[in-house]
Structures are given as structure tokens and as C-alpha cells.
Structure 1
Amino acid sequence: MSASILIRAALIAGVAGLAGCATPATSSPSTGEGVPARHFLAKLTPYCGRAFPGRVVEGQPASDDPVWNQPAVLFLRCERDGNILSLSLGEDRSRVWLLGSTPAGLRLSHMHSHPDGSPEDLNAYGGLARDPAPTATRVEFPADEPTLKLFAEHGLRASRDNVWALELADENTLVYELKRRGRTFRMAFDLSRPQTPPPPPWAEMPVR
């Protein structure tokens, strides 16, 4: 499956449940200092086509999944449809984050796949950006309606309060964040240390 097809499918899935909503995007009152959330896409442009090492810098509570102790590499690819950020954790290439504009607003989607490229059951979830964003370097994504429905189907009641964020903490650091009551998870990627990109994510392997 090509990268463009992958991101289109995810973004379409993410906004399918929003068509009937009166307010298409989660928004916060303008303070006069906010900027359009979609402008964050341009902030990532200088890093397109490169891969960067990362690590978990905060985990409360700490995960007992050993995969998070593996070397982390984030590969940022910029497509016409949006940005594809594939996360490799050692040999695990199951995770892809998609960041792109939809008719409803800027959306962050999480794709999870099996080694053969087939999607996991919990897949294509994420959030619509609060718009305007508080700053040009941080965008927050509360769980959107399709994600709330998906979490309910899987019995993930606590996850309904998820707010994800992407932040350029400084010129050398990209932060991925997840927060909800009783849960904080943050990964930091060192943009000053580009390295050889990892193999393609499992999501781009042909399904067998």
C-alpha cells in the first residue's frame, strides 16, 4: 500500500463520523495569541525525509511493555496529503502517526498494524486539533467522535479523555505527548541527530 493511499484512508476514516456534527472541529476560545493549527505542518517541513532518535522522557504510570525500552527512531515523510511519522521501536515497526488536514480540521491519526501489514483491531484513532493553537509550536488533539466510539467499543473508558499533542519544544526537539487524568506519556526526538531511516513500517507491507 502506498503512503498516499495509507494516509487518505486514515484521514477519511477519522472524519467519517463528523459529517453530521454542527461544530466540525474541537476548538478553544481565541486569546488573540493563537495561530491556525494547520500552520504546524509547515514547522515540520525542514525535517522532511529524515529520521531521528528518540526516547521516553516521561511515563506515569510507567509501562510494563518492554518494547518501550527498545531504540526508538522516528522517520518523518511529507506527502501531498500530510505528514507520515513512522515510529520504529527496535524491530517493531507497527506504529505510524499521520498528521494531515481534513475538511474538519488538522487531525492526528494513530495506525497500528501486524507484521504482515494487516491492521490491528484498535486502529485509526486520534483527535482533531484545538484551533486556534495556543502557539505556533504546539498543537493539541483531543479525542474526536470516531475515536470516542472506537474506544467505547473496546471498553477503553479512561482513554475517552485522551489529549495528544505534538510540540517543537526547541529547535532540536520534537515531543509527542499523551495526557489524560492519571496518565502522562511523553517521547522526545532529537532533531539535531539525523540518522539512516529504518525499514518501512509494517503498514506498508502487502497484506498476505
Structure 2
Amino acid sequence: MKNYILTVSLFATLSLFAQEKSGAQQFWETLKTHCGKSFEGEITEGPANDDFRGKRLVMHVRSCEENRIRIPFFVGDDKSRTWVLTFENDRITLKHDHRHEDGSEDKVTQYGGTTSNSGLPKIQFFPADQETSDLIGYASTNVWWITVDETSFTYNLRRIGSDRVFSVKFDLTKSVENPSAPWGWKD
């Protein structure tokens, strides 16, 4: 009887453990709660001469599919940037989709990286992948990370071995009017 109780207890414990969601799954679910909404942000770290300073910064969690979330990032009137997040095999990939005003792809586009583990519920790290290294040699040491919690979303970049750091923080407590479609999208 003791072995039976021990076996049942062990099975119940393993079942509970198996039902726990990974950090990547929790992060993904939190991000999806903002689908369809837009938020204003501000630069919290970056070069003083950064082209983004003094411009309105808006992210729009515009497209949410089961395993892909697209977040256009507007810098003033520039609608060229979209962060594309893909969830597969308990890993998240971040790619940067850059477009020209006519919708055609920029020559520097689709760079980014994939998490090396499932991460934590509120933060995911994306080291530069081989495609990025081949496309933009100096970005080989880039590490991007995104944080998301109840009040904020931050997009961050650090180029290891340099002083290049960029962070923009969006206030998730106050949504703003959704902007028109980014370049290359149809409303």
C-alpha cells in the first residue's frame, strides 16, 4: 500500500510540474493581452544625438496570430519598423522588419535573434543570430531584450564590446489612438 501511495503522490507531483507554463509561454500570454492596442513611449537610454529623440514614439500590437505577434514601432511620421515575434518550441524569435514608404523591404531587414532558453515571464533575451551577423557584421554582438509587465513594455539593445545601448519604454497603463497602417501594410 505504501508503494501505491508513493506512486500516486509522485505521479500527482509530476503532473502539476508538467502543467506549469514556461517563462516564454507566460511572456507570450502577457504580450497577447495587449493585442489591438497602441502605447506611447520614451527613450530611457541612448545616444544624445539619436534620431528618435524629440519625436513621438508609438508601438501598436497590431497583429496577433497564434505563434506570431507583429508590433509596428512608429518614430514620428516614420512607419518603417515592425518588430516581429514568433513563438516556436518554447523559444521566441525577434526579427526587425524594415520597409520603405512604398512597402518594399529595406536592404537591412529581418535581423534579430532567438532566445537561447525559455527565459522568464517578464523578460526575454535575443542574441544576434547568424543571419544578422551575415547581414550587418558590426551587429554580431547585439543582444536585444524585451520586458513586459502590468505597467510597461521596454525594447532594449546592447552591442557587447561597445558603449551602444538603446532603450525605449512604453506605458501600458494608458493606451493611445491606433495609428494608420505601417509602410507595407494594408488597413
TM-score relative to the length of structure 1: 0.72
| Counterpart in the other structure of 1:131 | 117
CA distance in 1, matches of 2:184, 2:88: 21
| Counterpart in the other structure of 2:82 | 96
CA contact (8 A) 1:37 1:130 kept: no
- Summarize the Cα distance change of 1:55–1:84 in structure 2 as closer, same or farther, 3 Å threshold: same
CA distance in 2, matches of 1:121, 1:160: 17
Using CA pairs under 8 Å that are at least 6 residues apart, name the structure with larger relative contact order, 1 or 2: 1
SS in 2 for 1:119: coil
| Counterpart in the other structure of 1:166 | 146
Answer yes or no: is 1:109 the counterpart of 2:95.
Answer: yes
CA distance in 1, matches of 2:131, 2:23: 23
Answer yes or no: is 1:48 the counterpart of 2:48.
Answer: no
Percent of aligned pairs with the same residue? Answer: 34
Matches within 5 A, 1:4-43: 35-43=22-30
| Counterpart in the other structure of 2:16 | none
Structure 1 consecutive aligned stretches of length 4 or more whose deviation exceeds 6 Å: none
CA contact (8 A) 2:39 2:174 kept: yes
SS in 2 for 1:42: helix
- Of the three residues 61, 82, 85, the one matched with 2:68 is 82
Unaligned 5+ segments in structure 2 are: 1-20
CA contact (8 A) 1:36 1:131 kept: no
Letter in structure 2 aligned against 1:45: K
Q: How many correspondences in the alignment? A: 163
Unaligned 5+ segments in structure 1 are: 1-33
CA distance in 2, matches of 1:82, 1:149: 24
CA distance in 2, matches of 1:121, 1:136: 34
Letter in structure 2 aligned against 1:146: E
1:62-84 deviations in Å (ceiling 9; x for gaps):
3442x442111110031234111
- Of the three residues 57, 62, 67, the one matched with 1:72 is 57
CA contact (8 A) 2:24 2:90 kept: no
| Counterpart in the other structure of 2:166 | 185
CA distance in 2, matches of 1:130, 1:136: 15
SS in 2 for 1:192: strand
SS in 1 for 2:140: helix
Shift of 1:90: 1.5
| Counterpart in the other structure of 2:8 | none
CA contact (8 A) 2:97 2:109 kept: yes
Larger radius of gyration: 2
CA distance in 2, matches of 1:178, 1:57: 12
TM-score relative to the length of structure 2: 0.80
CA distance in 2, matches of 1:116, 1:86: 16
CA distance in 2, matches of 1:75, 1:180: 26
Shift of 1:183: 1.2
